Structure 1
């Protein structure tokens, strides 16, 4: 998903690249700048892991920030708490399900013209996911006509 953010932001839903990523990068930059003791990635991870996540950011900042850094810290802590062997397997199943759900959602949100452009270049994973979903009839952009069972595009 980060690859898409950097290399193909036009394939993502409106507002994701422009707002959330910009605000999150700015917040992370400020976080690291305030903590001058951070010298490497390991120290940055330790400091982010130490962030207190009991108070939701909406209570601290209100609606003005669209950063997801706090939510990422909270999610990372929740996933790290699943350490025992049976829970570890559950953790990776959860990560897999969320990733597949995000990929499917983004594939459906991207316009067909963007997918067509990507196919001309060999296609992105997102475009191949979209084609598979279309083939199996699980995309909202496609609807099956009642009478003759043809698939037609819903252009709106």
Structure 2
């Protein structure tokens, strides 16, 4: 195992995922790729991007998310793990699977939070769909 992909939401619950990334990275001397999938730009999904201040706010938000990912990667690096942070825009499941192939990932680590029926009906479960569709091992970590 040489490459591990860790999908991070940046919602404040990522420490368990980072701890698992460290455990597996050390155990297998593997590179850890921390990935955050940001929502696509509005024009990507057929809407106008809006006034300049909206675009500026979005750019600031993406820059802050990338800096947070890089801070997590730097912390892993300081503990002896080769790590990089990736900020990608698009559909979450598609991007996880696509980046896994591009980076020759051997293991995906993803968090799982239990949601109510209505949430599941509307949004589904990225962790469950990743397990179903990935052709490599997926470690799901309970985040509750």
Q: Shorter-normalised TM-score: what interval?
A: under 0.3
Judging by fraction of residues, say which structure has more helix.
Answer: 1
The TM-score with structure 1 as length reference comes to 0.24
Greater Cα radius of gyration, structure 1 or 2: 1
The TM-score with structure 2 as length reference comes to 0.25
Judging by fraction of residues, say which structure has more strand.
Answer: 2
Higher relative contact order (CA 8 A, sep 6+): 2
